[in-house]
Amino acid sequence: MRNRFIAVINIFLASLMLSGLVSCFKDINSEEREMQIIDNFLKNNDIDTEPTESGLYYIEFIEGTGAQPVAGDTVEIFYKGYFLTGGVFVNNLHSDPYRFAVGSGAVIEGLDEGISYMKEGGEAMLVVPSSLAYGSEGNYYLGIAGYTPLAFEIILDKVIPGL
């Protein structure tokens, strides 16, 4: 009876180790697949921009002439978020601007970082790797799977200085 119990425990531990090993390979393959999606998107859209240190791609369409936001400032933006493989998942271009405080954690890291490069009145595209968006978990409510890179077209409408 004791030997059977030890055998069951050994099988259980071996399966845990194997599943952990498989998930590591899955993560590596998912990250490689994600980088390929980003590379294809940039190539197909003739975008020749180097990523920032964090991995964000910032592509400026129109340089704004107003204030550049810093942490603590509140911004109002219009945006469209879409998958690099096609399909829009969020869009407020024809409604009220979205308002948030820069650096407050109210938005994904990639959006926060990208906004900090803009000036009021500017328009830009952000290509955001999953590490700066919803990571390996994704976002169920938005229909975003893990390791999904995203793009956002942003209009920085207003910068309201912080206190």
- pTM of the prediction? 0.81
Q: Residue 154 is encoded by which pair of tokens?
A: 């942003």
Residues 6+ apart with CB under 8 A from 44: none
Per-residue pLDDT of 8-31, as tens digits, reads: 455 544 444 444 433 444 455 788
Single-letter amino acid code for the residue at 8 = V
Residue in the block written with tokens 């603590």 = 72
Distance of CA 88 to the CA centre of its chain: 14
Per-residue pLDDT of 101-156, as tens digits, reads: 999 999 999 999 999 999 999 999 999 999 999 999 999 998 999 999 999 999 99
Q: Where are the beta strands (DSSP E) in 17-149?
A: 57-62, 74-83, 88-91, 98-101, 123-128
Burial of residue 39 (CB within 10 Å: 0-12, 13-18, 19+) is: exposed
